[in-house]
Each structure stands twice: as C-alpha cells, then as structure tokens.
Structure 1
Amino acid sequence: MSKSLFLLAALSLSTLTAALAEPAQVLLVRHAERAAEPVGDPALSPAGQLRARALAAALAHAGVTAIITTEFKRSAETAAPSAQALGLAPEVIAARGSDTVAHIAAVAAAVRRHNGVVLVVGHSNTVPAIAAALGAPRLQDFCESSFNHLWVLRPQAQEESAQLLRLRYGAADEVPGAGATANCQ
C-alpha cells in the first residue's frame, strides 16, 4: 500500500470516527429552582427537588447515555435523579469563575466527545450559549423564574443547521415579576 493511500485511509477513518462521536441529541436544561440560602452555592428548594424528579421521569425513556453538569449543587442535584435512575455518573465541567466563554467551550467539547443522547444541566447564563456553540440559533435569555424548559438539539452536518425543539417539563413556571426582561423565556 502506498504511503499516500495509507494516509488517505487513515484520514478517512479519523473523519468517520469524529463524525460518529457527535451525539445524536443534546438535551439542555437549566438547573431546577434553588433555595435562597446559602447565597454562593444553594441546594435545590423543595420545588426544585420535585422538578428534578420530574426531569428524571420525563427522560426515563429518552436513551440518555451521558450527563454533564457544573460543580454547583443546584446543577448536580437537578441531574441526580436522572443519573441515579439511569446508572450514570455525571461528568462535571467546572464553571471557571468569570470566564463564561471558556466554560461554554469546555461544555461543548465535552458534549462532542459523546455519542447517543447527552443531558446538559446548566445555568440561565450558559444554556443559550451552549446551544449556540453546538450549532443552534441563539436562544433568548432565561427569566430568573424560568426553570421548566427542556431544549432538544439534534446536531447536523456543518452544511445544515441544527434542529432545535423546545419542550417543557414539571410544574409551570411562575409568571415573571415586573423587573423581568421583556423578552426572556
């Protein structure tokens, strides 16, 4: 086998392997409702615990093969019922302090390393940007009282745009207060 033919075969195989590593679907949610205290890293509130269990029920037959969270309690606790039910250990991607851009890139890279269905539990300021980093159109910002969105992203080949479906799960969100952004979700 000539050296150039071998190189072409190796390149084709690495391209095929990279294509197979893309997830079939990415499920994106914001963490569930959090308690008021402690301010820095609160756990889920009772309503948030109910929502986390509702997420597990909603995803019971979705074929989730990987779960990605941040190190914060609210993110980990939102994913915990799903992880336990599916026998999966969540992959934790550190939030990286104020470097949100680096965090989003790290989450997108982690998602791309998986195949199957990947659940990402993020935050109001990261879920829209993570979806965009994975090829979806930019989502509107989340209202502070918005927790029931479940985005289903189906990545596509680079020449096609990703498909994005918005679902809701668990209890209805509270109506945003007077100070909420007019266009938030």
Structure 2
Amino acid sequence: MQRADWDAGNVSLWRWGRVMIAAVSIAVVLSSVIGVVRATDATSAAAQATSEGADQAQIEEQGRDAVPPLLLDPRPDAHAKTGKPAWTIDPHGAIRWVIVVRHAEKASEPEADPPLSEQGERRAKDLERMLIGADPTLLLGTELIRTQRTLEPLAAELGLLVDVHESDDPYGMAAKVLEMERPVSVVAAHSDTVVPILEGLTQLDLQNLYPIEYDDFFVVAIAPGVERSGGRPAASVLRLKYGCE
C-alpha cells in the first residue's frame, strides 16, 4: 500500500471517529439541558475510505471540513430569552443529522386514523422543546394524522410545514431525506417503519432495534463522501429515550 493510501485511510477513520464523538455529545447535551433524555445504547459502524494519489494538504482540508454541524452555544445568556436550549448549526459542517421517532401516543378513536392522546400531545411538546434550537429545515411525517401532530408543535415554532410521505414506503421516505440533503431533518414514523427508515438511511442491518416504543429517539449521523466497504455510506445510529415519564 502506498503512503498516500495509508494516510487517506487513517484520516477517514479519524473523521468517522469524530462523527461518533459528536453523536455521543448530542446525548450528553440533551440530557443535561433538557433532562428528558435517557441514553440506552448505540449502534455504530466504522468507515474506511482511501483516496488514490491524494496529497497531505488535501487530506488535512478534508479533516477540517468534518466539523460536526450541531454545536452548543457557549454564551452564558444564549438561551436566557426563550428558556430553551441554544443550539447552532455550523453551515460548513460535513455531517448531516436525521432524528427519527415513532409518533407520540395515539387516542383510541377513531380507529382508522386517530389523533394523539393527551399524553401524546405532551410528548409532542417534549419533542419540540428538545429540537427547537437544532433548527431542522425538514420535518417529514406520513399521511396518518398522528405523525403530523407529533411534529406540529415543532413546525409551529419554526414556521415550517410538515412534509408528508406514504406510510407504506419507508425506504422511499429515507431516500427523500437523503436526496434533500438538509443539515438537520426530523422524521416521525410508525412502530413498523422506523427501522426500515433507519436502514434506508444507513444501509445497516438494524433488525435488533425492535420493538420500537413511543419514547424511542434515534439520532442518525451521516458523513457524505465517506464510504464503508461495498460503497455504503458512513453512518451511525444512536438510540435515546425522551419525553413523558
């Protein structure tokens, strides 16, 4: 193996290590600022990519571009005005983030397409309080009202509409998120579609994540331009718990 290949591979591993550190940092910050997140376990995948003939200057530039886009504002008065966690987005960050949740608790009626229950409404507000400062620009639900209602408090605060995708096409839902390439996206889905969406985003086998509960909160970190073996994207999934106790 040539020296340039070896260096490029190591820098790619270093970059992916930063992805994992950033994902864990999200769990720590959410837990300390909001108090409603409980970290449980993480499923991760390492990435290794080589760059034929890349010189050291190019490699170092790639490393600088890998700054995670989610940063906690260090100013002491950052969230004094709203009382909410102060998150900022680094527009030059190379990592894209997707938050995937199951819709909040649903009412018992009507059977065909029930709205959220009172507890579900509270959980939807918890989700809004957690993510308002992350400034997502894509909110994606399904045609079923319970997913849209889960995202509505966040949408109202951000001045966004909830995009809708067919509930029976989870892989298409994942593809839509990837195609839009937003720095931060939030997806509300169903107990039987959360895992396929995560698999579509990461190209990982995540069947071990079942069952999916109302309080599950998945953080997906995707590193564009970095690939694992087989051309799969370099991506990681962090599983958290949030909301109504």
Deviations 1:93-132 (A, max 9, x none): 022xxxx4xx012201210122210100000000011001
Contact 1:23 1:112 in 2 (8 A): no
1:106 maps to 172
**Structure with greater helix share of residues:** 2
Contact 2:175 2:200 in 1 (8 A): no
Q: Which residue of 163, 171, 174 corresponds with 2:236?
A: 163
How far 1:161 moved relative to its partner? 3.7
Contact 1:69 1:92 in 2 (8 A): yes
Q: Distance in 1 between matches of 2:136 and 2:216?
A: 17
1:149 maps to 216
**Aligned CA-pair RMSD:** 1.9
How far 1:137 moved relative to its partner? 4.1
1:28 maps to 100
Deviations 1:24-46 (A, max 9, x none): 10000000000011111000000
Gaps of 5+ in 1: 1-19, 173-185
The residue type equivalent to 2:195 in the other structure is P
Q: Distance in 2 between matches of 1:70 and 1:49?
A: 17
Contact 2:165 2:173 in 1 (8 A): yes
Correspondences of 1:36-115 after superposition (within 5 Å): 36-95=108-167, 100=168, 103-114=169-180, 115=182
1:17 maps to none
Aligned residues: 144
The secondary structure found in structure 2 opposite 1:163 is strand
Q: Distance in 2 between matches of 1:137 and 1:77?
A: 29
The secondary structure found in structure 1 opposite 2:104 is coil
Q: Which residue of 132, 138, 144 corresponds with 2:206?
A: 138
- TM-score, normalised to structure 2's length? 0.55
Go from structure 1 to structure 2 and tell me whether the alpha carbon gap of 1:23 and 1:74 turns closer, same or farther (over 3 Å shift).
farther
**Structure with greater strand share of residues:** 2
The secondary structure found in structure 2 opposite 1:107 is helix
The secondary structure found in structure 2 opposite 1:131 is helix
Is 1:117 aligned to 2:180, yes or no? no
- TM-score, normalised to structure 1's length? 0.72
